[in-house]
Chain A
């Protein structure tokens, strides 16, 4: 029970991680939201957000994940993101074709500057973040052995 797998890491690592995680979340959101202006896009930003959560889980132990995953929140987030992306793609039919850029182009170097590209980046970031967090949490929290059965 006292191994680092179950208990998390020491005080120095915990204190450092508590501050680094916030910077990671801000950096991931920056990369997602500025995908149409600078380098990086929804995929890389989503992976950075997932890494922030995974670092939290590595440092503070699996009970952090169990506190978040009392409800199946990761599959719901991933499904919402995927449906969001697909609905953007189908809304392109209002302009004539699948994935048509039906929003205006706007001012260059501003946030709303490329039509559907920032919206797609947000949807992709949501899918990637939720899927990777879910994959990691499922693989880590899974205990092989006899499954629980309901006796009835």
Chain B
């Protein structure tokens, strides 16, 4: 259990560094450190499938973020109505903590109703699906809707990127009135 807490503390420190860093590239690298910590946490919790996916996606996202932020720097404003902003943030944090402490009281303990549903999968999974990788049996047979939705989300994201950044059919910023008549 101590390694899990060590990973949690590491991720919290990396998140604080990522928030406080003024340089965008350093912030992106700190965010990727959080992702690697999540991957290690999945390994500690004995979920190697999720760890593989998390690690691979993290590398891809890191490459995309570095390519898109390495020559740009967002303006970082610290002046202005900081008293109003800080007080609003504090009020929302207190409200959120109160609501979630009420909500968490009714939840069962972490991992407590152990194996109520998953014992069915573990006992019948191989006989019903024939897959020796039980995670694939659950994800693509019992919960195939989940995987279909996930794939649809990625496909839709690709279509959205293509739609926003397309070249054909765009109107130049200068002469938009002439085209629309």
Contacts and interface: CB of A to CB of B under 8 A. Distances in A.
Interface of A: 31, 35-41, 43-44, 47-48, 50-51, 54, 58, 74-75, 78, 82, 85-86, 89, 98-99, 101, 105-106, 108-109, 113-117, 120-121, 124, 127-128, 130-132, 134-136, 138-140, 142, 146-149
23 contacts: A36-B131, A36-B133, A36-B137, A36-B140, A37-B131, A37-B132, A38-B133, A39-B48, A40-B49, A78-B158, A82-B151, A85-B151, A98-B145, A99-B144, A105-B129, A115-B129, A115-B130, A116-B141, A127-B154, A134-B158, A136-B67, A138-B165, A146-B174
Contacts of B53: 41, 43-44, 47
A147 B147 contact: no
Contacts of A35: 133, 136
Interface residues of B, number: 44
Contacts of B167: 147-148
Interface stretch (B13-21, B54-62, B88-96): B54-62
B44 interface: no
Interface of B: 48-49, 52-53, 56-57, 59-60, 63-64, 67-68, 126, 129-133, 135-137, 139-141, 144-145, 147-148, 150-152, 154-155, 157-159, 161-162, 165, 167, 170, 172-174
A108 B126 contact: yes
Instruction: Classify the secondary structure of B's interface with A.
Output: helix
A127 B157 CA distance: 12
